[in-house]
């Protein structure tokens, strides 16, 4: 009898659905780890799970794994039906939505209905539309968005991949957008891109991988004083680039088809003293507590921005205050993500206008120098380092000596002295001689003044 009672209790324990008894927040967290289609399927697990997915704040629709030729011929599509039902049955607002779909999906106004529902009804803040093509596609690459498609005030970030625009009308009145990423985007002429960008008055982040279909026209013009980040990853059949922004802190120019004389950059926050060759990165490091520029830049590198063949050999110009622990750590984090030997690194040193904290300043460079800590790490290497305004101060000397000591600079360290007064030039040359004294006989590094 005792054994039978024990067995009965054990069976009762096993039959209890412990997961369904968890709080709503925990169930929602579990559902958020799934793609949206899988999360919706949990609704059939039990009554408790039926409505959990409807509260998800982030929706991700994966690309369908297979296509059905019958669906293509009769115009029906089960994936379209599922996406429509998910959007319509979702409860509350949506923070972000990623929509992967084939070019044969979303036809007959369905995609436009999705966009309208996601923005106007669900108040989606971040929208990503990724269009895929396969061998069965008979629709061509052109898809016409209606005017003002992306102008709803709730939409702050838009990413588009694999579209062709004949006109900029879908971007009318898009002062709501803070982030715009155009990847594998074609336009009939460069004026379409220029008008499109001029309609997005509040942009802070802009990423471009764009092509003009017809012959090379005029330059791409970007004039926006709110723009903080500009990544031009690819431009083809476009006759130049003109950029003007008083707020720009990060600029990446990777692969373009225009001549160097057709490039113009007006941005007081970005400092570089040399004529650079593409690919090139210019970055003014900020010490503000929460920096959208740094977060976005690091995320792009982590997501593969600097894994392309071109950017593996990129050069970089950075502006930094060596007495700011925040800026130094951000430079350390950035360079630490580099996966190959950098070609050229130019470091412009900012004036330290804030009141110094001698203890923190001393400890910062004692950590790097006296305790044998390589900067940014033991693996990073750069062929040539340019320092156009090296003054020979204590912290600058400590920084340069750290790079020499750990073999971070491989071929040349170039220090500019020609722009200083005779007295200051002499002080810098004394500091340079001290740096040379740190080298060993086996050291191949050349330290030069120019």
Average pLDDT over residues 155-164: 96
76 contact partners, CB below 8 Å, separation of at least 6: none
Instruction: Show the tokens assigned to 225.
Output: 């004083």
Q: Is the pLDDT of residue 414 over 80?
A: yes
Return the number of other C-beta atoms located less than 10 Å from residue 9's C-beta: 10
Residue 308 pLDDT: 59
DSSP classification of residue 290:
S
Instruction: Check if the beta carbon of residue 331 is closer than 8 Å to that of residue 347.
Output: no
**Model confidence at 401: pLDDT above 70:** yes
The pLDDT, as a whole number, for residue 27 is 73
Which among 75-79, 158-162, 362-366, 418-422 has the top mean pLDDT?
A: 158-162
Look over the chain and give the mean of its residue pLDDT values, rounded to a whole number.
84
Percent of the chain with pLDDT over 90: 54
**What is the rounded average pLDDT of the residues 78-89?**
90
Higher pLDDT, residue 217 or 418: 418
CB burial class (10 A; 0-12, 13-18, 19+) of residue 143? middle
Q: What is the pLDDT of residues 10-68, one digit of tens each?
A: 555 455 666 666 777 777 787 778 788 888 887 767 777 778 888 889 999 988 765 55
| Residue 351, SS3 per DSSP | coil
For residue 365, the SS3 value is helix
Residue 72 has pLDDT above 80, yes or no: no
Q: Per residue in 59-92, is it b (16+ CB within 10 Å) or e — as a string?
A: bbbeebeebeeebbeeeebebbeebbebbeebee
Residue 273 has what pLDDT?
A: 76
Q: What is the pLDDT of residue 261?
A: 84
Q: Where are the alpha helices (DSSP H) in 288-357?
A: 292-302, 309-312, 325-336
Estimate the crossing angle of helix 292-302 against helix 325-336, to 10 degrees. 20
What does the pLDDT look like over 243-284, one tens digit per residue?
A: 999 999 999 988 887 888 889 999 999 988 767 767 889 999
In sequence order, what are the residues at sequence separation of 6 or more whose Cβ sits closer than 8 angstroms to the Cβ of residue 168? 192, 193, 195, 196, 199
Mean pLDDT of 88-104: 92
In this prediction, residue 138 carries a pLDDT of 46
Structure tokens at 120: 């106007």
The pTM is what? Answer: 0.87
Residue, of 356 and 56, whose pLDDT is higher? 56
Q: Cα separation of 82 and 36, whole Å?
A: 10
CA 441 to chain centre: 43
The pLDDT of residue 50: 77
Find the helix packing angle between 325-336 and 358-368, rounded to 10°.
Answer: 20
The answer to which of 26-35, 183-192, 253-262, 338-347 has the lowest mean pLDDT is: 26-35
What per-residue confidence (pLDDT) applies to 139? Answer: 46
pLDDT level of residue 160 (50, 70, 90 thresholds): very high
pLDDT of 359 strictly over 50: no
Cα separation, 34 vs 25, whole angstroms: 15
What pLDDT score does 257 carry? 79
Question: Is residue 251 a contact partner of residue 269, using CB atoms and an 8 Å limit?
Answer: no
Residue 53: per-residue pLDDT: 85
Write down the pLDDT at residue 229. Answer: 95
Burial of residue 420, with CB atoms counted within 10 A of its CB: 0-12 exposed, 13-18 middle, 19 or more buried: middle
The pLDDT, as a whole number, for residue 60 is 92
Does residue 305 carry a pLDDT above 50?
A: yes
What's the confidence (pLDDT) of residue 18?
61
Furthest-apart CA atoms within the chain: distance in Å: 103
Check whether 73 has a pLDDT greater than 50. Answer: no
Residues 379, 199: Cα–Cα separation, whole Å:
44
Least Cα distance to 347 among 376, 308, 367 occurs for: 376
> What pLDDT does 381 receive?
94
Residues in a beta bridge with 379: none
């Amino acid at each position: 009898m005792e054994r039978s009672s024990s067995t009965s209790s054990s069976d009762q324990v096993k039959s209890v659905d412990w997961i369904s008894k968890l709080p709503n927040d925990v169930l929602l967290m579990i559902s958020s780890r799934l793609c949206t289609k899988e999360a919706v399927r949990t609704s059939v697990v039990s009554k408790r799970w039926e409505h959990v997915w409807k509260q998800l704040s982030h929706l991700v629709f994966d690309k369908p794994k297979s296509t059905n030729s019958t669906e293509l011929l009769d115009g029906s599509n089960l994936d379209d039906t599922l996406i429509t039902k998910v959007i319509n049955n979702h409860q509350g607002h949506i923070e972000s939505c990623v929509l992967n779909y084939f070019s044969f999906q979303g036809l007959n106004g369905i995609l436009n209905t999705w966009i309208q529902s996601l923005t106007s009804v669900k108040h989606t803040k971040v929208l990503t539309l990724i269009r895929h093509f396969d061998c069965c596609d008979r629709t061509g690459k052109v898809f016409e968005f209606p005017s003002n498609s992306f102008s709803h005030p709730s939409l702050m970030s838009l990413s588009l991949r694999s579209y062709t625009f004949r006109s900029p009308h879908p971007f009318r009145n898009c002062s709501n957008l803070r982030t715009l990423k155009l990847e594998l985007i074609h336009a009939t002429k460069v004026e379409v891109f220029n008008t499109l960008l001029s309609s997005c008055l509040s942009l802070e982040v802009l990423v471009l991988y764009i092509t003009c279909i017809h012959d090379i026209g005029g330059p791409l013009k970007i004039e926006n004083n709110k723009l903080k980040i500009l990544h031009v990853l690819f431009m083809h059949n476009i006759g130049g680039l003109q950029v003007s922004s008083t707020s720009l802190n990060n600029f990446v120019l990777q692969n373009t088809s225009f001549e160097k004389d057709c490039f113009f950059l007006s941005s007081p926050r970005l400092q570089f003293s040399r004529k650079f060759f593409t690919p090139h990165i210019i970055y003014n490091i900020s010490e503000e507590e929460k920096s959208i520029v740094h977060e976005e830049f690091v995320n792009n590198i982590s997501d593969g921005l600097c894994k392309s063949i071109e950017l593996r050999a990129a050069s970089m110009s950075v502006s930094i205050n060596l007495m700011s622990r925040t800026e130094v750590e951000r430079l350390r984090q950035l360079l630490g993500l580099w996966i190959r030997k950098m070609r050229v690194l130019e470091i412009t040193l900012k004036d330290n206008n804030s009141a110094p904290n001698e203890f923190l300043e001393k400890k910062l460079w004692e950590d790097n120098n006296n305790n044998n800590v390589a900067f940014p790490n033991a693996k990073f290497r750069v062929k040539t380092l340019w320092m156009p305004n090296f003054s020979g101060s204590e912290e600058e000397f400590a920084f340069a000596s750290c790079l020499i000591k750990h073999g971070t600079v491989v071929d040349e360290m170039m220090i500019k002295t020609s722009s200083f007064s005779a007295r200051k030039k002499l002080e810098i040359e004394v500091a340079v001689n001290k740096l040379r004294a740190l080298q060993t006989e086996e050291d191949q590094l050349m330290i030069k003044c120019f």
